[in-house]
Amino acid sequence: MIAMTIAEIAAAMGAQLLRASDPTAVITGLTHTDSRDVRPGDVFVCKPGEFTDGHLFAPVAVEAGAALLIVDHELDLDVPQLLVDDVVVGLGAFAREVVARVRALGTLKIVGVTGSNGKTTTKNLLRTILQEVGPTIAPRASFNNEVGAPLTMLELTEETKFLVAEMGASGIGEIARLVAMAKPDIGVVLSVGLAHAGEFGGIESTVIAKTEMVSELTPADVAVLNADDHRVAGMAAATAASIVWFGLGPNAAVRASDVHSDATGTSFTLTLASGESRPMRFRVLGEHHVMNALAAAAVAESLGVDIDAIVTALESVELAERWRMQVLGGRDGVTIINDAYNASPDSMAAALKTLAQIRTPGQRTIAVLGEMSELGEFSGEEHDRIGLLAVRLNISQLLVVGQNARRMHISTINQGSFDGESSIVDTADEAFELLKNTIQPGDLVLVKSSNSAGLRFLGDQLGELFSW
Which residues are bridge partners to 365 per DSSP? 444
Residue 412 annotated in ligand binding: no
Nearest to 189 by CA among 219, 228, 140: 228
Residue 271 annotated in ligand binding: no
Nearest to 288 by CA among 209, 371, 193, 375: 193
Residue 109 annotated in ligand binding: no
How many Å apart are CA 81 and CA 86, to the nearest integer? 14
Residue 117 annotated in ligand binding: yes
From start to end of 421-463, where are the E strands? 422-425, 444-448
Question: 3-class DSSP state for residue 252?
Answer: coil
Residue 115 annotated in ligand binding: yes
Which residues are bridge partners to 260 per DSSP? 267
366 contacts 445 by C-beta, under 8 angstroms: yes
268: left (phi over 0), alpha (psi -120 to 50) or beta: beta
How many Å apart are CA 7 and CA 192, to the nearest integer? 42
How many Å apart are CA 175 and CA 184, to the nearest integer? 11
How many Å apart are CA 17 and CA 298, to the nearest integer? 45
Residue 344 annotated in ligand binding: no
Residue 121 annotated in ligand binding: yes
Where are the alpha helices (H) located in 414-452, listed in sequence order? 428-438
From start to end of 352-415, where are the E strands? 365-369, 397-401
Nearest to 118 by CA among 338, 289, 335, 330: 289
55 contacts 46 by C-beta, under 8 angstroms: yes
H-helix or E-strand spanning residue 326: strand 326-329
Which residue positions form the known binding site?
115-121
Which residue positions form the known binding site for ATP?
115-121
